Amino acid sequence: MDEKTGIIKKIDYRGLILLGMGHMMTDLNTSALLALLPFLKDALGLSYAMAGTIILFSNLTSSVIQPLFGYITDRKFFLWFLPLGVFLAALGIALLGWASSYERIVFLVILSGVGVAIYHPEGWRIANFFAGEKKATGMSIFGVGGNLGFAFGPLMAIVFVKALGLKGSAFFLIPGMAMAGVFLFSRFWRVSRPSVRPSPALTPTDVATRSALYPMSLLLGMVMLCSWARIGLMTFIPFYYINYMKGDPMQAGNLLFAFLMAGTFGTLAGGPLADRFGHKKIVLFSLGLTTPFLVLFLLSSGFWSFIFFIVAGFILIFSFTVSMVMGQFFMPKSLGMVSGLIVGLAIGTGGIGAAVLGLFADRWGVPLTLWVIALIPWAAFILGALIPYPSQRGRAVTKP
């Protein structure tokens, strides 16, 4: 911290890594549910509609209600939301294998979803503080934890179920409790409530006259379209690979895992690049280049299709944490609300996009649907280009 100005300048890697680990332990429960659902369906004789409703409740509680918790954390400091969130997220999934009725499954999914929704706004807000002046770099460290959790959750679920049956889900409680314990018994991550003020690079008048509604609407629309593209790819690539390309289902799963892992590395790369070359420039670079690589993927086969798809995942996903930094710049007094809007509402609506794309696929087929998905990043590019964001690296910085 600068003793004269009171501005946090140096990035706190220790704090960000801890928050990122909590992010990973929280998000792996969300993705683990997708892998556990087929086993739960068979064990309890659930219908597809009932299985879909489980995912709906998970989406509503883990994503859509996040703005509510963001609103709460912006008005009162709830550091204990971090250990509570990671614990509840793990507890709900851990007990799923022991549930004997559909109602209990829904309750546990809601419990886990609330834990996820509690953790994210507070986590992103404190990560903003630890990031100092290198906002995109710091946020990428925190964000990569969620990417890793989302990638490894299904693999862990399958390993546990194959080894011990459905009751093997109880093992998800171990990392959740361990991470909650780290938060409870370590103190270096506990910061006083940060206040935010504009960087000297921008005058107070410039910030005061900028309406947050217009740029935030464009930003949320851009993030929502990115989410439609990402979830659309994850939903329809297995169908395309298995039913149209006649590939091995296991290889289709490996392809998605590689796509998510590429996004993890992309998240780490995108933050430093954005801090160096400009946030908006890197976001537009990401969105503009994703579509060509997806087109190359659809036009190729074999080894090259795999390479093009992985590169597309690397480029597409690394724009997300940079988008979070842009949102926090527009609403520096409501960092938790920004997190809830971007992570929760905008990304949560990706499920709606998948449903719309599903209707399109039923009528015109999966291959044409993938061509539509390939063009979605360019639609997001148009919205991103319209966002009024300063070309100079004027950033919101925090002060304890």
- Asked if residues 192 and 400 have their Cβ atoms less than 8 Å apart, the reply is yes
**Segment 275-307, tens digit of pLDDT:** 888 899 999 999 999 999 999 999 988 788 889
239 pLDDT higher than 90: no
**Segment 382-395, tens digit of pLDDT:** 999 999 988 654 44
pLDDT at 141: 87
- Asked if residues 109 and 54 have their Cβ atoms less than 8 Å apart, the reply is yes
- Asked if residues 143 and 267 have their Cβ atoms less than 8 Å apart, the reply is yes
* Average pLDDT of the chain, as a whole number: 81
**Segment 192-207, tens digit of pLDDT:** 554 444 444 444 434 4
Helix (H) or strand (E) holding 156: helix 135-164
Q: How do the domains of the chain map onto residue ranges?
A: 13-198, 204-395
**Segment 89-112, tens digit of pLDDT:** 999 999 998 998 999 999 999 999
Q: Which residues of 279-302 are buried (b: 16+ CB within 10 A; e: fewer)?
A: bbebbbbbbbbbbbbbebbbeeee
pLDDT at 363: 84
Which residue shows structure tokens 């990706």?
A: 350
| Identical fold, 13-198 and 204-395 | yes
So what CATH class is 204-395?
mainly alpha
Helix (H) or strand (E) holding 41: helix 13-44
pLDDT at 248: 67
Residue 240 pLDDT class (50, 70, 90 cuts)? confident
When pLDDT is averaged across residues 345-366 and rounded to a whole number, the result is 77
CA dist 371 to 195, 295, 296, 321, 375, Å?
45, 7, 11, 26, 7
Q: Kindly report the pTM of this predicted structure.
A: 0.75
4 pLDDT higher than 60: no
| DSSP designation for 373 | H
Token couple for 122: 């507070």
pLDDT at 37: 82
Q: How wide is the angle at C-alpha 250 spanned by C-alphas 245 and 252, nearest 5°?
A: 45
Token couple for 224: 């929502």
- Supply the CATH classification number for the domain 13-198: 1.20.1250.20
119 pLDDT higher than 80: yes
Residue 390: Cβ-neighbour burial (10 angstroms; 0-12, 13-18, 19+): middle
Residue 377 pLDDT class (50, 70, 90 cuts)? very high
When pLDDT is averaged across residues 206-234 and rounded to a whole number, the result is 80
